[in-house]
Structure 1
Amino acid sequence: MSTPVSVVMTVAPKAPYLPETLRTLADQTFQDWELVFVLDGECEQNRAATEFLPREKVKYVLTPAPRSGVATGRNFGLAAASHELIALLDADDLAAPERLAKQVERFAAEPDLAALGTWAQKIDIQGTRIGEMHPPIGRDKVARTLLWFNCMIAPSMMLRKSVAQGLGNFDQRCTRSEDYDMWLRMLGTHGVDVLGEELLSYRVHPNQHSKGTMLDGQAERLRESRMAAAERLGVSKLGAMARHGAWLGVQLANRRW
């Protein structure tokens, strides 16, 4: 008997790539899923895009205010999800047909696994391959890399609802780093790993969420989460501070401050 999956998708109004994304969900080889469709602002165009999906597979959720942000949307999605396994998927990315099946299989084999990402290919607005995203594989390598920077690809992630909620959900203060903060809070007590297969097409375009600026408050929250994770992993305070300093340097160089 398969373990069902809740696919949580937070969608801003008038998402241009949404129909293509939803088609890749419909074409999954693993079909025991529900879509928790979080409308971050009411939009008939987005609702209409889901009409070809079976009604019983779609659960609509509306955030308390338009453009509440990804962290708020994902938390509302977690609360509404019927199942323990949560697959994140963004409205501009494409899931490979076997994505859910392979992640569910891995969770079944590793009961202590809390979060599992995949490799991805980068695509442009036309869907043409323009690069690749290959995070490290293996729990230890993933953990050590996460202390330096966010190597995980959020829309490729599958996680356990009970773990995320047990850690206090996604931090709504981290408007553009909520995923990184969550993975850091998992380290040292929960398994985090990556499947070394390109099971996602990550679309690069000018308006994507990850291209926004990083705010001071988020950096402080990430510093706290990084320091706590480093302590759990046996990394010295000095080492943790060096890693955070290096991360800050990259943000400054990329003008994300």
Structure 2
Amino acid sequence: MTSDFSLLLPVYAKDDPAQLLRAFRSAVDEQVLRPTEAVIVRDGPVPEALAATLAELAASSPVPTRVLELPVNAGLAPALTAGLAACSYDVVARMDADDVSVPERFSKEIALLDTGFDLVGSGLAEFEDDEDVVIGVRTPPVGEAHIQRYARFHQPFNHPTVVYRRSAVERAGGYVAVGLMEDYWLFARMLASGSRAENIPEPLLKYRVGAGAYRRRGGVAQLGAELRLQRLLLRTGFTTPAQTVRNVVVRGGYRLVPEALRKVAYRTLIQRGFRRGASA
């Protein structure tokens, strides 16, 4: 089994100190297999309370923990790029500042990665305020062929659950800002560049669904990001013209429907229907 890996966790001004503390402890202190180090990227200045929590984590962590301080808020893609460069190990585990990893997460994901994969994700359980009250479960596609088919329509990994090889990320060109879809664009390029990928269907992370989760997925700005993503996928040959038309109609339309309908559409169409296998 891989003995050394880095935990990469980005933080910015709007993150909640208590949620960050819980996220970090779950991903380090409570893990059956702890990361060898943790790299927290502070994406720009943060409020005093959040700065104090970062200092506390760096001082009290059971593994070496570095807080990489970016002078301005650069956005998720630049923050993750800087964080990856600061990681000491090729194997890197992602974590967000408001989620909760279950204790067996890394032991199971790293064990699977060690069988020859470059990217491994898992299922997740959604919650709102109480992490023990599950309001939904996202089960990702399993099997390399299924993942390849699914990726032509939708993000095939629950992005805060993944562990990957930094060398495979770099081979694919690293993170590039595309609205809220930096992870999808990266994972598509990783698959296209020959990276082997798999998912564990079991929920190994508890995902906080905030009040604005579905609002952020819609609107004119996100439609623009969606159209840009679809152009990139087509230009690189990852999708066909027919697939692009389908994606623009379905995914683009999803960005413009009212928030309440968007929530229903997400759970019925994307979570359930395409989990069974999107057509090529």
Q: TM-score, normalised by structure 1?
A: 0.86
Displacement, 1:32? 4.2
| Secondary structure in structure 2 of the residue aligned to 1:121 | strand
Aligned residue type for 2:83: G
Q: 1:35 aligned to 2:41? A: no
1:184 maps to 188
Q: 1:137 aligned to 2:139? A: no
1:61 maps to 68
From 9, 13, 23, give the equivalent of 1:21: 23
State the alpha-carbon separation in 2 of the partners of residues 254 and 87 from structure 1.
Answer: 35
1:76 maps to 82
| Secondary structure in structure 1 of the residue aligned to 2:41 | strand
Q: Return closer, same or farther for 1:212/1:248 CA change in 2, 3 Å cut-off.
A: closer
RMSD of equivalent CA atoms: 2.4
Q: 1:219 aligned to 2:250? A: no
State the alpha-carbon separation in 2 of the partners of residues 226 and 118 from structure 1.
Answer: 24
Once the two structures are superposed, residues 146-193 of structure 1 have per-residue CA deviations (whole angstroms, 9 ceiling, x without a partner) of 211224211101111011122221103x14110011111122322222
State the alpha-carbon separation in 1 of the partners of residues 135 and 189 from structure 2.
Answer: 32
In the alignment, is the contact (CA less than 8 A) between 1:21 and 1:93 conserved in 2?
Answer: yes
In the alignment, is the contact (CA less than 8 A) between 2:125 and 2:134 conserved in 1?
Answer: yes
Aligned residue type for 1:5: F
Q: Which structure: greater helix fraction? A: 2
% identity of equivalent residues = 24
Displacement, 1:37? 0.4
Q: 1:149 aligned to 2:154? A: yes
State the alpha-carbon separation in 1 of the partners of residues 45 and 243 from structure 2.
Answer: 46
Aligned residue type for 2:121: G
Displacement, 1:33? 2.2
Aligned residue type for 1:36: V
Q: 1:91 aligned to 2:97? A: yes
Aligned residue type for 2:68: V
From 90, 96, 104, give the equivalent of 2:110: 104
In the alignment, is the contact (CA less than 8 A) between 1:71 and 1:175 conserved in 2?
Answer: no
* Gap runs ≥5 in structure 1: none
Aligned residue type for 1:181: W
Q: Return closer, same or farther for 1:154/1:211 CA change in 2, 3 Å cut-off.
A: same
From 52, 55, 72, give the equivalent of 2:60: 52
Once the two structures are superposed, residues 112-164 of structure 1 have per-residue CA deviations (whole angstroms, 9 ceiling, x without a partner) of x2211100111112222111111111111112112112242111011110111
State the alpha-carbon separation in 2 of the partners of residues 202 and 158 from structure 1.
Answer: 16
State the alpha-carbon separation in 1 of the partners of residues 93 and 8 from structure 2.
Answer: 6
Q: TM-score, normalised by structure 2?
A: 0.80
In the alignment, is the contact (CA less than 8 A) between 1:143 and 1:192 conserved in 2?
Answer: no
* Gap runs ≥5 in structure 2: 263-280
User: How many residues align structurally?
Assistant: 248
In the alignment, is the contact (CA less than 8 A) between 1:36 and 1:77 conserved in 2?
Answer: yes
